[in-house]
């Protein structure tokens, strides 16, 4: 039986329990459930009742290796590798089927025209999904390649910050958002802890860069 940090909202506890039932040793879920720093975090959400569960779900999503790998790339290069790989494989299979039509027909036991069309449709769907996923994260900037620190941790907290800004819709003051992001990041990445002041400085720097870019 897992012992949750004090003040964990019931909906958060239930969601984490369900996740741990599927993956008992999930390190991020266990950290979000048990780290004592989470106890003070829940009060930061104030009257935004949907906030705690949304942030925990976002933190779990953005901390997965595949998503972090995508977020560290420039926005134009963020294509989900699994869909792109399936699309390339399917497209190559179509080429082989059309090149070796007689052998393929013999193995298939009938003309392969319908099979070619189905595999081509599969390839198209895979490429479209990869492109759609690229657009999903378009609002999250690439982490800086300069300076010290971990780009992986920076990619995570940048993504969490942008997503939180969108979801909260001004329900949370910026200072509270900074505190939430600092705590969650430090729990998810205990080897690279960060404080709210660092989050604030980074947020303001990004805002200045965005204004310069807009002008």
Per-residue pLDDT of the chain (215 residues; tens, 9 = 90+): 789 999 999 999 999 999 999 988 899 999 999 999 999 899 888 888 888 999 999 999 899 888 888 888 887 777 666 787 888 899 889 989 988 999 999 999 999 999 999 999 999 998 888 777 666 677 788 887 765 678 899 999 999 998 888 887 777 888 888 999 999 999 999 999 999 998 998 888 877 776 655 55
Distance of CA 88 to the CA centre of its chain: 23
Question: Residue-wise over 113-139: b if at least 16 C-beta within 10 A, else e?
Answer: eebbeebbebbeebbebbeebbeebee
Q: What integer pLDDT is reported at residue 135 of this predicted model?
A: 64
Q: What integer pLDDT is reported at residue 131 of this predicted model?
A: 75
How far is Cα 57 from Cα 18, in angstroms, rounded to an integer?
12
Structure-block tokens of residue 80: 């989900």
Q: Exposed, middle or buried: residue 208 (CB in 10 Å: 0-12, 13-18, 19+)? A: exposed
* Contact (CB, 8 A) for 184 and 197: no
Tell me the C-alpha to C-alpha distance, in Å, between residue 7 and each of 3, 49, 147, 164, 173. Answer: 12, 13, 37, 21, 21
Tell me the C-alpha to C-alpha distance, in Å, between residue 188 and each of 58, 60, 160. Answer: 12, 9, 12
How many CA atoms within 13 Å lie on the side-chain side of 149?
Answer: 18
pTM over 0.75: no
């Amino acid at each position: 039986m897992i012992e949750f940090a004090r003040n964990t909202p019931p909906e958060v506890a239930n969601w984490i329990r369900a996740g741990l039932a599927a993956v008992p040793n999930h390190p991020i879920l266990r950290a979000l459930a048990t780290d004592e720093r989470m106890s003070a975090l829940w009060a930061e959400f104030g009257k935004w009742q949907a906030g705690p569960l949304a942030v925990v779900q976002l933190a779990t999503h953005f901390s997965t290796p595949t998503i972090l790998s995508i977020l560290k790339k420039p926005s134009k290069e963020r294509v989900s590798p699994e869909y792109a790989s399936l699309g390339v494989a399917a497209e190559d299979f179509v080429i082989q089927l059309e090149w070796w039509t007689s052998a393929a027909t013999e193995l298939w036991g009938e003309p392969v025209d319908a099979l070619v069309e189905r595999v081509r449709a599969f390839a198209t769907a895979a490429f479209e999904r990869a492109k759609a996923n690229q657009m999903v994260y378009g609002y999250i900037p690439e982490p800086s390649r300069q300076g010290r620190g971990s780009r992986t941790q920076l990619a995570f907290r940048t993504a969490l910050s942008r997503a939180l800004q969108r979801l909260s819709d001004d329900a949370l003051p910026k200072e509270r958002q900074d505190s939430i992001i600092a705590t969650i990041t430090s729990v998810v990445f205990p080897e690279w802890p960060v404080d709210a002041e660092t989050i604030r400085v980074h947020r303001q720097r990004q805002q200045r860069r965005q204004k310069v870019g807009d002008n």
